[in-house]
Structures are given as C-alpha cells and as structure tokens.
Structure 1
Amino acid sequence: MDTRWKPSVTVAAVIERDGRFLLVEEHTSEGLRLNNPAGHLDPGESPIEGCVRETLEETACAFTPTHLVGVYLSRVRRPGDDFTYLRFAFCGTVGAPDPQRALDTGIVRTLWMTIDEIRASRERHRSPLLLRCIEDYLAGTRHPLDLVTTDASVYA
C-alpha cells in the first residue's frame, strides 16, 4: 500500500484540585463517555496552545499548563474504524468556569471525580489513556514544558 500512516495528534489536560480530577462527560458514537478535557491539535498551534484551547472549549475554564505528563500512542480498532492517536498530556491549573461561555458541541457537563471514582468507571472511559495519564500524574511523572518544541514554521 502506498498510503502513508498518519496518527492523529491529540492533547489532553490532567487537572487535579483537592484530590479530584476535572473530567468531561461527552456524547460519542458509543454513548456518553468520560474523558480528560482533550481534543485534536489544530493547524498553526503548538501542543501547549492546543491543550489550552481544548480545555477552554470543553470546560469553559482557562487552563495554565505547568508540566508535560507524557506522550502516549494508542490505537482504536472497531468495525469500520482503525485510528492511531498520539496524545500529549499536560498537567496544570484552571480558573473558575466562565458562566457566559457554552461548552463545546457534544460536551454534556464537566465533573470533578476522585481517583477511586475514575477507576470504578472504566467502562465509561472514552479511552484507556484517561486513566493512564492520571495514574502517571499521581506517580509524579512531570517533564518541563520546554521538552515540547514547536518550530516557527508551524505558525507561518
């Protein structure tokens, strides 16, 4: 086959406050699912910028990344679909939600869950990376933000 393999680049936010993690509940083709605030990287933005944008769109909260938690490669196969995702997960803080801002299409609500509640709801996770990113965060995995470099050509 002459087709080049191209994984989809996604970004995700791991946000913890007082022992709870900020998640979104969203409509998917498989029903209502839980996920980190996450989404696809858009043209002309860095992974950090994409994560800030996606978090704002999905939670109505301004996100300030502090560290890279990790870079993850995953594959989803189901009848008629075969997708590979390259996820950049960042941790950081959020401000209060902007009451004037609507949540992104498909997002039903935001919720704060403990790690035990997240572990107990695995069947509702949109991706196994939801829990993996949080587990890595809880294990203390942190990398400096400058580990991810975006060349100026991205913005041209």
Structure 2
Amino acid sequence: MRVSRAAGLLSLLLAVPALPAFAEDASLPPDLEKTVREFEAAFGAQDASRVGALFDEEGTFINPMGQHAVGREQITAQFRSDFERVLKGVHNELAVERVRLLGDLALLDVRQTLSGGHPPPGAPRPWVAHAVVLARRTDGAWRLLDVRPYFFLHGAGPGGKAPGAQRKAPPPR
C-alpha cells in the first residue's frame, strides 16, 4: 500500500515537537518593560556597573564604533569607557518600537533618543539611535543577551531615505 505524499508530510509534521508560541508586535511583558526601564535609568545615570549587570553572563555588545564586548565584565568596561568619552553627559530616552516574543527570548527594536553631551560634528541633535536587542528570560528575569545600537547615516531612516526625500536615479553609464 502506497502512502500519499500529503499523508507522509502530515506524519512528518506530527513527529516534530511543538514549537513555542511566537508573538510579533506583542506588548512588552511587565518584567521585560522593567528591564528596559532599568537600562534607561542606568544609562541615564551613566552607571556602567548597573548597565553591565542587566546583561546575560554570555551577553555581547557592539557599539556604533564597532567595538565588541563579550560577557558582563567586558560590557561594563566598554560602557565605562563610552561614558567617560563619547557619551559623557548624554541623557537618553528609550521607546520600544517592536517586540517579537519566542518562548524565553525576545527580539526588540528600540529607538534611543540621546541629548546633551558632545555629539560628533554634523550629528543631528538630538541624536537618535536604533538598537536591535535580543533578551533572554533566565531564572525569571530578563537579561540582555545581544545589543547592537547604530545610527542611520546623515539622518536617513530605514532604507537609506531621509524623511520626505526621494531616491535619485543612478547616473548613466
């Protein structure tokens, strides 16, 4: 007796263990919102130790200058250095634009508005950064696993377009 292709696919799907529920654009769970606000407060206070403590032990951070930090100790040191130099006197405000929940992981798109300090020449004021954040719930608390903040070039938004600007046609060859 031949098993139809559909029946074979169905039996394969039934053999795969159930995947955790996936929610896109879900609201932030209160405990994750708490972690985001703790980061905002620690960053605003320029307290590198408090910022570092919010990261998972295996956490990673790459700042907009491309400097890598792996693990809480290196992340704390990187923030300490950044707070003493490029971020000295900077204040911040975080807005979570999107969250995707997958079990004990959350992927967040975060807008960080920075004011004060000494931005690089030509940088817009306030500076607006975008951060991609992967968080993991461990022992009932959310920790930052991977954080990647960056700035759009010349104030351009997603897709390389400045607000209200139209793309120019490439020059003829």
Tell me the TM-score normalised to structure 1 length.
Answer: 0.27
Q: Which has the higher contact order (CA 8 A, sep 6+)?
A: 1
Question: If each structure's strand is expressed as a fraction of its own residues, which one has the higher value?
Answer: 1
